[in-house]
Chains A and B, each alone.
Chain A
């Protein structure tokens, strides 16, 4: 379900921005516009569609227009042209009173340098949004205390912001934003000013809170690792233009242009990609517990090994060699379900990094199972290897991400043209 729809937003900074719009629409670029007219093109015809309950990350370097973008959602900045529709309401059509109401109840915001009121205590800061709404003092402070506890700052209620560390100050900022119960949370480089360790703690905390709250979060960052870590979807901005929108694996595996490609090159892909985006469907499986039949099947197909599955549930792997040995032994054959080796499987949700040791140790593609023990696919060394190689800039689109011929050239071409339409490999 779409929560926020951004339609063809263009923002030009300068005294005669409205007149410049036609020039931009005629195709004048950012540099040309600046050189000729002294106007800065902040955003150039950006359209986005943000789903309810999503963490939507807008990523770009400084000057890419990402901070300008996020300020359009609650109209801290007015666009030169375009529409923003939140829950079916065109934000542009709101008058001042309605806009204040909209900001009070629909959206709240977390700032890069926290934006806390230095002359107020933590609890007064967290209660600020409610105070603006006109909520009574004891009511709003009770609520503020709940949120302070939820972000792990209990005991610091009566301190001033300057007494807290950066990470704690940003928790106050987060609690303040959450206290108004707005559906949409705007986070403008919220964690960029923090130490790396604190930053990753805050990222975890955000993801954890999100699992409970199911807000729609628009998150701005210049850090691709952060974007990949927390984002359900990522939009990449360059010079006010949208380069690509997609899920983290799509951004990593099918970068739309050289700009995105340059970005993803330095990313630790093994830590970002999960097994389910890389694994292949199993070519065949053994779905009974008869050893001799299994061995016969293997010989006929020329397979060295097979994956044993009982009612979709994964029971283990057997090799031809092991079967031959076991059958040659005197006495009854044991059940194949019991005999199969189920020690070397990897979890569907784990990252490539976590799955790597099991993959390297194994002589055959490692079986992949989901939470309920169902057999989902296999992961081979070759696939892992090809995924960890960053895409080459010289190589034509899509080739570098092609694996085992499963993505044909035409397929990859299509993915390139419509990055949004690609679903996760699972």
Chain B
């Protein structure tokens, strides 16, 4: 349909994008594959470790982690029971796969998110440029970048991880930025007045005092990473998401529900552990004489 009012710019964009992706695949395919293999290496190691471990050992680790983070017996028992429930639902293997993907995604998000947040807190200009990018990352449908990602990295886990990072990193970046900006300016000034270098101010004052906020960001990133598991499974990542996807494809509501429960349990587990860890890190705030 020809129109005077709307010149067709959709087609050029489409063609240009496709050409660009083709160009990348043809010319830099090896580079992308190397990167893909690099991430895959860590993921496979972690996944193999988690899946080969005796479930009793994993349950014990959950208990230890929860107790170390919270020092609460009740919560510890609750978390172990929750984890046991995942196994009882028959999704232990899948849960381990999901945990592996999630942990690698979160690790990547932290590696990107904290430095980006620190930079944003220091430079208004960087922040102004970053903000629309973060908005885009959070709102653009995942499939839009999953198509080229699948082409560049191949189907499977790596594009899933990438999609997860794109979706899950923004809250960490924002909360790191906010946390550092909220640090009492007089404390930062005091640190500078004693001749601290920028790095010393960052390491000794800003990061520790922004830690509650940063931990909140890590927590949010974990939650969002878990929210992505179903979409991730669509491009070939295994795990609990796949269970839900299969339920959808086979019109099996029961299986979908079982997978959904497992995802929720994992979310609660990671949420409680990181929240308690965050609270204990700022224990000094609670002491009042």
Task: Report A-chain residues with C-beta under 8 Å of the C-beta of B58.
Answer: none
A→B interface (CB under 8 Å) = 74, 76, 99-105, 107-109, 111-119, 128-129, 131-133, 159-160, 162-164, 176, 180, 186
The distance in angstroms between the C-alpha atoms of A91 and B192, with both chains bound, is 15
**Stretch of B60-68, B266-274, B281-289 on the interface side:** B281-289
Extra contacts besides A100-B196, A107-B193 (20): CB < 8 Å: A76-B189, A99-B195, A100-B195, A100-B197, A102-B195, A103-B192, A104-B194, A108-B193, A115-B189, A115-B190, A116-B187, A117-B205, A119-B208, A119-B282, A128-B204, A132-B194, A160-B284, A162-B287, A164-B289, A176-B194
Interface size of B by CB at 8 A reads: 23
Residue B209 CB within 8 A of the other chain: yes
Known: A115-B186, A132-B194. A163 touches B209 (CB 8 A): no
Q: Which residues of B contact A116 (CB under 8 A)?
A: 187, 190
Is A132's CB under 8 angstroms from B200's CB? Answer: yes
Determine the distance from Cα of A117 to Cα of B186 in the docked complex, in whole angstroms: 10
B142 touches A (CB below 8 Å): no
CB distance from B79 to the nearest CB of A (A): 28
Q: In the complex, what distance in Å separates the CA atom of A60 from the CA atom of B256?
A: 71
Pairwise interchain contact B194-A129, C-beta atoms closer than 8 A:
yes
Assess whether B36 is interfacial by the CB under 8 Å rule. Answer: no
A-B CB proximity, top 4 nearest = A115-B190, A104-B195, A103-B195, A163-B289
Residue numbers in B under 8 Å from A99 (CB-CB): 195
Which chain A positions have C-beta within 8 A of B196? 100, 132
List chain B residues, Cβ under 8 A from A176: 194
The distance in angstroms between the C-alpha atoms of A105 and B195, with both chains bound, is 8
Q: Which of A105, A113, A117, A129 has the most CB of B within 10 A?
A: A117
Chain B window 175-192, contacts with chain A (Cβ cutoff 8 Å), 1 for yes, 0 for no: 000000000101101111
Q: Which residue of A lies closest to B282 (CB)?
A: A119
Per DSSP, chain A at the interface is: mixed
Contact A103 B194 (CB under 8 A): yes
* Contact of A115 with B195 at beta-carbon distance under 8 Å, contacts A162-B284, A162-B287, A162-B288 already known: no
> A159–B189 Cα gap in the complex (Å)?
23
A119 touches B209 (CB 8 A): yes
Q: List 8 A-B contacts (CB under 8 A).
A: A104-B195, A105-B195, A107-B193, A109-B194, A115-B187, A116-B187, A118-B285, A119-B282
A119-B284, A162-B285 known; A180-B194 Cβ under 8 A: yes
Distance to closest chain B CB from A113 (angstroms)? 5
B205 in contact with A101 (CB, 8 Å): no
Closest CB of chain A to B20's CB: distance in Å?
39
Q: Give the nearest-CB partner of B196 in chain A.
A: A132
Report the Cα distance A129→B285, complex, angstroms: 23
Instruction: Provide the bound-state CA to CA distance between A196 and B189, in Å.
Output: 26
Interchain CA distance A324-B12 in the complex, whole Å: 125
List chain B residues, Cβ under 8 A from A74.
193
Question: Would B288 and A128 count as touching, CB distance under 8 A?
Answer: no
State the CA gap A133–B200 with chains docked (Å): 10
Residues of A within 8 A of B186 (CB): 111-115
Contact B288 A163 (CB under 8 A): yes
Whole-angstrom distance between the Cβ of A14 and the nearest chain B Cβ: 16
Interface string of B198-211 (1 = CB under 8 A from A): 00100011001100
How far is the CB of A200 from the nearest CB of chain B, in Å? 24
Scan residues 85-123 of chain B and give those whose CB is less than 8 A from a CB of chain A: none
- B193-A118 in contact (CB<8A): no
Give Cα A176–Cα B187 distance, bound, in whole angstroms: 13
Other-chain contact of B195, A117, A132, A163, A164 (Cβ < 8 Å): A132
Q: How far apart sit A132 and B202, CA to CA, in the bound complex (Å)? A: 12
- With contact pairs A113-B186, A132-B200, A162-B284 given, residues A103 and B193 touching in the complex (Cβ less than 8 Å): yes
Task: Name the A residues within 8 Å of B197 (CB-CB).
Answer: 100
